[in-house]
A and B are shown apart, each in its own frame.
Chain A
Amino acid sequence: MKGVLLSGGTGSRLRPITHTGPKQLVPVANKPVIEYAIEDLKAADITEIGVVLGHKGRDEIQELLGNGSKYGVDITYIVQGNPLGLAHAVGCAREFVGDSDFVVYLGDNMLRHGVLDLIESFQSGEYGAGIALQEVSNPEAFGVADVDEHGTVTGLVEKPDDPPSNLALIGMYVFSPVVFDVIERLEPSWRGELEITDAIQLLLDDGHAIDSHVVTGWWKDTGKPKDILEANRLVLEDKELNTVGVIESGATTDGRIELAKSAVIEDGAVVRGPVSIAENTTIKKGVYVGPYTSIGADSTLEDIHIENSVVIGGSEITANGRIVDSLLGRNANVKSAEDLLPEGRRLIVGENSQLKL
Chain B
Amino acid sequence: MRVITHTCPICGTIVAANVLENNRVMKCPGFRCQEVLRFEDVDRDAREHFLENLDRYQI
Residue numbers of A with Cβ under 8 A of B are 50, 53, 58-59, 62-63, 66, 76-84, 88, 91-96, 183-184, 186-188, 192-194
Contact with A along B16-47 (1 / 0, CB 8 A): 10110010000001110000000000000000
A88-B3, A183-B3, A184-B1 in contact; A192/B14 too (CB < 8 A)? no
A82-B59, A187-B1, A188-B1 in contact; A93/B14 too (CB < 8 A)? yes
CB distance from A143 to the nearest CB of B (A): 20
A88-B1, A91-B3, A192-B59 in contact; A58/B14 too (CB < 8 A)? no
**Residue contact B1 to A186, C-beta cutoff 8 Å:** yes
A80–B12 CA distance with the chains assembled, in angstroms: 14
A53-B29, A58-B29, A188-B56 in contact; A78/B13 too (CB < 8 A)? yes
**Residue contact B3 to A94, C-beta cutoff 8 Å:** yes
Q: How many residues belonging to B are interface residues under a CB distance threshold of 8 Å?
A: 20
A59–B56 CA distance with the chains assembled, in angstroms: 27
* Apart from the given pairs A58-B29, A83-B59, 6 other A-B contacts in the complex at a CB distance below 8 Å: A81-B19, A82-B18, A88-B16, A183-B1, A192-B56, A193-B59
Neighbouring B residues of A62 by C-beta, 8 Å: 30-31
A184–B49 CA distance with the chains assembled, in angstroms: 13
A81-B22, A84-B59 in contact; A76/B12 too (CB < 8 A)? yes
**Residue contact A95 to B59, C-beta cutoff 8 Å:** no
A95-B5, A183-B3 in contact; A79/B57 too (CB < 8 A)? no
CB distance from B26 to the nearest CB of A (A): 10
A59-B31, A63-B31, A92-B5 in contact; A77/B14 too (CB < 8 A)? yes
A84–B50 CA distance with the chains assembled, in angstroms: 14
Chain B residue nearest to A90 (CB atoms) is: B3
Chain B residue nearest to A91 (CB atoms) is: B3
Chain A residue nearest to B5 (CB atoms) is: A92
Chain B residue nearest to A192 (CB atoms) is: B59
Q: Binding site of A, secondary structure by majority: helix, strand, loop or mixed? A: mixed
Chain B residue nearest to A58 (CB atoms) is: B29
**Residue contact B12 to A92, C-beta cutoff 8 Å:** no
A53–B15 CA distance with the chains assembled, in angstroms: 10
Neighbouring A residues of B7 by C-beta, 8 Å: 95
Chain B residue nearest to A60 (CB atoms) is: B31
Q: Contact partner of B19 among A79, A183, A194, CB < 8 A?
A: A79
Neighbouring A residues of B31 by C-beta, 8 Å: 58-59, 62-63, 66, 77
Of all A-B residue pairs in the complex, the 7 with the closest CB atoms, nearest first, are: A91-B3, A62-B31, A81-B19, A78-B14, A81-B18, A77-B13, A82-B18
**Residue contact A82 to B5, C-beta cutoff 8 Å:** no
A62-B30, A95-B5 in contact; A79/B16 too (CB < 8 A)? yes
A127–B58 CA distance with the chains assembled, in angstroms: 33
CB distance from A228 to the nearest CB of B (A): 26
Q: Contact partner of B57 among A50, A63, A82, A96, CB < 8 A?
A: A82
CB distance from B58 to the nearest CB of A (A): 7
- 19 sample A-B contacts, Cβ–Cβ < 8 Å, listed by A number: A50-B14, A62-B31, A63-B31, A66-B31, A77-B13, A79-B14, A81-B15, A81-B16, A82-B18, A82-B58, A84-B18, A88-B1, A92-B3, A92-B14, A95-B14, A183-B3, A187-B1, A188-B1, A192-B56
A92–B57 CA distance with the chains assembled, in angstroms: 13
CB distance from A159 to the nearest CB of B (A): 21
Interface centre among B2, B14, B19 (most CB of A within 10 A): B14
Neighbouring A residues of B16 by C-beta, 8 Å: 78-82, 88, 92
Chain A residue nearest to B29 (CB atoms) is: A79
Neighbouring A residues of B1 by C-beta, 8 Å: 88, 91, 183-184, 186-188, 194
